[in-house]
């Protein structure tokens, strides 16, 4: 009975091993042209030499019985768990929603507490500003001296006229 040849990917799927493990087995057999299992590999040594000479890529194939002898068949895997029933998913989502609601509730409590502290701080600042504010200005005093009763001294008049002459037009800029 002749067993079929498998590609590396097919052999990996059949045995449950990685493709690199299958390649290592093939390379160990292909390195020795007189290996007892060399006839179980395709292409044969002459074809491999021709491909390499041309620089072409080729696909290794190995007989199924060599693979099963070295690695056995893939362990029978239990079918992957089917998607959970809708009721379980619904309960999971409901639990997550209640958890998120609780987190939001706590955040609102923190925000309200911070708003209260801010309001208290504003009230304290307002009362402090009232305490430190300047008193309201009082109305001008009734003791006003009229200009006609006070005469400037002659020295004051002379010094004022001299200072305006010395300054000139732009004297105000010099200070």
Please say if the pLDDT value at position 140 is more than 70. no
Task: Name the average pLDDT for the chain.
Answer: 80
25-52 burial, b at 16+ Cβ within 10 Å, e below that, comes to bbeebbeeeeeebeebbeeeeeebeeee
Please say if the pLDDT value at position 134 is more than 60. yes
Q: Which strand (E) or helix (H) includes residue 157?
A: helix 154-167
Residue 161 is predicted with a pLDDT of 57
Residue 42, token pair as written in the block: 């395709």
Please say if the pLDDT value at position 170 is more than 80. no
Stretch 40-47: mean pLDDT, rounded? 87
Cα–Cα distance, 48 to 46 (Å, whole number): 5
Please say if the pLDDT value at position 78 is more than 50. no
Which one of 34-38, 51-55, 154-158 scores highest in mean pLDDT?
A: 51-55
């Amino acid at each position: 009975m002749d067993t079929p040849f498998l590609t590396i990917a097919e052999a990996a799927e059949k045995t449950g091993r990685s493709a690199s493990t299958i390649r290592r087995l093939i390379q160990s057999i292909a390195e020795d042209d007189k290996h007892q299992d060399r006839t179980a590999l395709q292409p044969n040594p002459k074809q491999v030499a021709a491909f390499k000479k041309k620089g072409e890529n080729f696909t290794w194939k190995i007989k199924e019985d060599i693979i099963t002898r070295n690695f056995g068949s893939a362990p029978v895997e239990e079918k992957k768990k089917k998607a959970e029933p809708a009721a379980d998913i619904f309960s999971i989502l409901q639990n997550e929603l209640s958890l998120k609601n609780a987190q939001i509730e706590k955040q609102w409590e923190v925000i309200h507490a911070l708003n209260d502290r801010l309001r208290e701080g504003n009230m304290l600042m307002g009362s402090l500003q009232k305490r430190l504010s300047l008193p309201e200005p009082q109305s001008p005093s009734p003791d006003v001296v009229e200009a006609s009763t006070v005469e400037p001294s002659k020295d004051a008049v002379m010094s004022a006229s001299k200072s305006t002459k010395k300054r000139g037009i732009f004297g105000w800029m010099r200070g």
